[in-house]
Structure formats: C-alpha cells, structure tokens
Amino acid sequence: MSLSALSLQTGMDAVVTGVNLVWVLTVTFLIFFMHAGFAMLEAGQVRSKNVANQLTKNLLTWSVGVVVFFLAGSAVSTIVGGITGGGSYSVAGAFMDLYAPDAASVTAWTDWLFGAVFAMTAATIVSGAVAGRAKLRAYISYTIVLAAVIYPVVVGFTWAGGFLGAMGFQDFAGGMIVHGMGGIAGLTAAWIIGPRMDRFNPDGSVNVIPGHSLSFAVLGTLILAFGWYGFNVGTAAAPLAMEGGEVTLGSFAYVGRVALVTTLGMAAGAIGAAGVAMYKTGKVDTLYVANGLLAGLVGITSIADAIVWPGALVVGLLAGAQLPVVFGFVEKRLQIDDVCAVFPVHGSAGILGALLFPFFATGLWNGTASFVSLAIPQVVGVAVIAGWTVAATYVVFRGIKTLGELRVTSEHEREGLDTSEHGVDTYPEFGKPETVTDGAGVPLDGNVRTDGGVEPASVAGEIGGVSDVSGGDDE
C-alpha cells in the first residue's frame, strides 16, 4: 500500500468518526430538549399556584442529577454490570475511565453525555407524580439517589452487560429501563407522600383538580414527541461505517424502519386513548389524547428495532387504550394521586410494550426464535426492574417522610408552592385573590380582574397620567 493511500484511509477514518460523533451529539441535544417538553407538560397539568415549583424541579433535576450521574452514577452502572454479568470490572477503573479516559478514547465523554440524557429523563418523570405537595429539598434528595444509584443499577443489570442483558432482555431505547422505571418510581413516591388536599372525600369519591393550562400540556406533548425521535431513531445506527477500507452508508433501511415504527406507535397511542375516553364518557378528553400519544411512544420505545411494523399499531393502540383505564384504577381503586399520570403514561405503558415484544418480534415471524425464548427474558426483566425500583424508592421516600421533610405544611399547600417554596407568583398580573381550595384563583365576588387588583381611585392624580398598577414593588 502506498503512503498516499494509507494517508487517505486514515483521513477517511477521521471523517467517519467525526460525522458519527456529530450525529451522536445532535441526537443527545435533541433528547435534552425533551426537558422543555416535560416542563411544559407538567406545568400545564398543575394548578397555577404551583407552576414555578414544577418548573424549578425540572431545572434542578437536570442540574443536580447530571452532576451526580457524572460523579457517581455512570461508574456505578459499569460496576453493577460487571458484578451481575460475570465480567471483569474494576471499581477504580470504572471511575478513571470516565474522569481521565485514555487519550485514544475520543468517544468516552460523548458516550457518557448520551447516557446522561437518558438518566435525566428517568429522573424528571417522578416530579409529575408528587406535584403540588412535595418539599423541594425532598424531591432533590431523591433525585440525587436516583441519579447515583437507583437508575444506574437498572442500567447495570441491562445495557452495561449485567445478567438481564446476558439473558437477552430486549429494551432498545429505554421503554422499560428509562420510562417504565421512572413511572413505577413516580407511582411509589405518590403512594408514600399521599394525595393532595381535597383530592379525595372521606367516602372515597374523587374530586377532579384540573390543571391550569391545556395549551401548555399539549405544547409539551409535541415537544416530547419531537425529542423522542432522538431516543429511538438516534439510537438506531450511525450515519457512516468503514468496511474493508471503504466508507459505507449506515443501515438507513433499519433506521427508517425504527422511524416508521416510532411514528405509527405514537399516532396509534393517541387514537387508542381517544377511543377509550369516548367510550367511557362520550367525549374525547384532550389531555387523554395528549398523554395517549406519549404512552404509545413509551410502549414502542423498548422494541422499535426488532418488531414487524403492524405490531407498532397494535402496541401503540393498546398503550394508549390502557391509559384511561389504568389512570382510573390508580385514582379510584388505589386512591393514589398521580398528578401528571406518570404511571399510566410511562410505567404501565413501558411494561406493556416490553411484555408484548414476543408477539411481534421479527425473530418470531422469520422463524429464528421461539415465543418462549423471547418471552422469558422480558418477564424476568420487567419483574426485576419493577421490584428494584419500588423497593429503592420506598426506602428513600419513607426515610424522608420519617424525618418529617417530605411534605409541605397544609398552609403552604393551600397557599401554593410557588409562594411558600420560591417566594414568587407565576401570574402576578392577575393580583392575589382569596385562596380557594380548587386553585382556580377566582376572587370571592366571582369577577376576574384585569387591572392587577388596583382600585381606579388609587391611580387618581398620578403625574403625567402614568400610574403604577403592578400591585407590587418597584424595585
């Protein structure tokens, strides 16, 4: 081989590596943008007096969680994978490979960041379940434990080479590992902290507490759906490859199928939820449609790479259809106040998708795998992840509750967490009406004011016709 040919080959290696790294980073940024979707979705589903609190939780979930995942969580997943998978591992090596990777390891920190955005997605799901009554410091404390231990252990069992991965547990992009785990953690946390005030009557009947903005909720849903293509399509394959010294295109037929399956599952989820809502109430509930779309995405995420495309429609429809049913069961039978429906959207939909994999797996339909061989790892995987998540979340939240630091006081809950936890009013232009238990923010006289609550007489005599009607401080 001539030196010129060797130089060209080395140069093309660099081109392939560079393009693929840019792809991974672009996908990573797309997944990070999902936090904007979670922020809008959750802010829309809480009462106006708790909006700032929910937004703050979303901001701090990323900020605190990603630092903790860097300092501890990523290495913990490597260690757990080595311990449970029977492979070699080094505690010191697991940390040093991240903090001081070999100079030749150009992808080390890029790979870490790609894993980190998945971890933070799992963490932020929990905030929607305990909205409106959890102390901020209690939620952040749980986020630290989740990022350092709870989620990394699940990754260690699976993607990091642990025993579930060795068994053949199928989770392509986190339908169970990320979303199922987050939804189960949210349900457990909501159970321990208890319902919001006035959510349930003494006879067990349920009071509906509507969120303050359907517009925010739907906007958040569509942002999440956009970012979800980073989850699934971004995980599918790199754009370029080197084969025998030749630059080849990545498997875009495979990538295209993942994109198709993701899209069909998303659409079918919205249809399934709309249909069941219509059947139950005679009306199509907008929030059910939005959350059904997300449930369809969750259901398809763990299996998008390895099922026949008709399976996407079935899984999506079932994931969306189960949403109103499971939400009603959690609310009315279990008496658990899951504010943003995180369990039916992420938990039960993630479980459903993982368990339905054997029915639609390409291996089954092309005759290369049996139903039993596909089903056993899925059942075991779901049981292990669910059991670990419930146990770990229970211990943390029960411990915080025992210390008396889990929940705000009843006075602060009625006043709203925006004021009690952050000292802000998210919508100050509407004045400060008498507090009402349903969070509607309507004054006692029933008239919504548009002048900031300042009486006309108070602006008389202002110099130059300029008045201060903010109802607040100038500085």
**Tokens describing residue 62:** 């990323």
Range of the domain at 314: 19-238+248-411
Residue (of 388, 332, 406) closest to 177 by Cα position: 388
Asked, for residue 212, whether it belongs to a domain, the answer is yes
What's the CA dihedral at 127, 130, 136, 140 to 10 degrees? -50
What whole-number distance in Å separates Cα of residue 366 and Cα of residue 363? 5
16: Cβ–Cβ under 8 A, 6 or more apart, which residues? 240, 241, 242, 247
Q: What CATH number does the domain containing 356 carry? A: 1.10.3430.10
Q: Given the DSSP bridges, would you call strands 246-249 and 240-243 parallel, antiparallel or unpaired?
A: antiparallel
Amino acid at 387: G
What whole-number distance in Å separates Cα of residue 15 and Cα of residue 260? 29
Asked, for residue 228, whether it belongs to a domain, the answer is yes
432: Cβ–Cβ under 8 A, 6 or more apart, which residues? 425, 453, 471
pLDDT in tens, 433-467: 444 444 444 444 545 444 444 554 544 444 333 33
What whole-number distance in Å separates Cα of residue 188 and Cα of residue 406? 14
CB 46 within 8 A of CB 339: yes
User: Residue 463 carries which DSSP code?
Assistant: G
What whole-number distance in Å separates Cα of residue 291 and Cα of residue 345? 6
Asked, for residue 444, whether it belongs to a domain, the answer is no
User: Residue 93 carries which DSSP code?
Assistant: H
What whole-number distance in Å separates Cα of residue 271 and Cα of residue 418? 35
Q: Which helix (H) or strand (E) holds 248?
A: strand 246-249
pTM exceeds cut of 0.85? yes
What whole-number distance in Å separates Cα of residue 134 and Cα of residue 337? 12
Residue (of 357, 180, 369, 363) closest to 265 by Cα position: 357
CB 158 within 8 A of CB 177: yes
Asked, for residue 176, whether it belongs to a domain, the answer is yes
Supply angle C-alpha 77, 82, 84, rounded to 5. 95
Residue 286: per-residue pLDDT:
96
Asked, for residue 463, whether it belongs to a domain, the answer is no
154: Cβ–Cβ under 8 A, 6 or more apart, which residues? 177, 181, 385, 388, 389
**Tokens describing residue 150:** 């709870």
Residue 242: per-residue pLDDT:
79
CB 127 within 8 A of CB 142: no
**Tokens describing residue 261:** 């399956």
Per the structure, the count of domains in the chain is 1
Asked, for residue 179, whether it belongs to a domain, the answer is yes
Helix (H, G, I), strand (E, B) or coil at 242: strand
Residue 90: per-residue pLDDT:
82
Phi first, then psi, for residue 106 (nearest 5°) are -70, -15
273: Cβ–Cβ under 8 A, 6 or more apart, which residues? 288, 289, 291, 292, 293, 295, 320, 321, 323, 324
Residue 241: per-residue pLDDT:
78
Q: Which neighbouring-strand residues pair with 243?
A: 246
**Tokens describing residue 123:** 């963490």
What whole-number distance in Å separates Cα of residue 271 and Cα of residue 292? 8
Asked, for residue 324, whether it belongs to a domain, the answer is yes
What whole-number distance in Å separates Cα of residue 22 and Cα of residue 256? 19
Amino acid at 185: A
Asked, for residue 2, whether it belongs to a domain, the answer is no
**Long-range contacts of residues 204-209, Cβ cutoff 8 Å, at least 24 apart:** 204/332, 204/335, 206/331, 206/332, 209/47, 209/438, 209/439
**Location of structure tokens 């029960």:** 398
pLDDT per residue, tens digit, the chain (475 aa), is 443 443 444 578 888 888 889 999 999 999 999 999 999 999 999 999 999 999 999 999 999 999 999 999 999 999 999 999 987 778 888 888 888 887 667 888 999 999 999 999 999 999 999 999 999 999 999 999 999 999 999 999 999 999 999 999 999 999 999 999 999 999 999 999 999 999 999 998 999 999 999 999 999 999 999 999 999 998 887 788 777 778 887 777 788 899 999 999 999 999 999 999 999 999 999 999 999 999 999 999 999 999 999 999 999 999 999 999 999 999 999 999 999 999 999 999 999 999 999 999 999 999 899 999 999 999 999 999 999 999 999 999 999 999 999 999 999 999 999 999 999 998 887 655 444 444 444 444 545 444 444 554 544 444 333 333 333 333 3
Residue 105: per-residue pLDDT:
79
Residue 100: per-residue pLDDT:
83
Neighbours of 428 (CB within 10 A): 13
Q: Is the dihedral of CA 103, 106, 108, 112 positive or negative?
A: positive
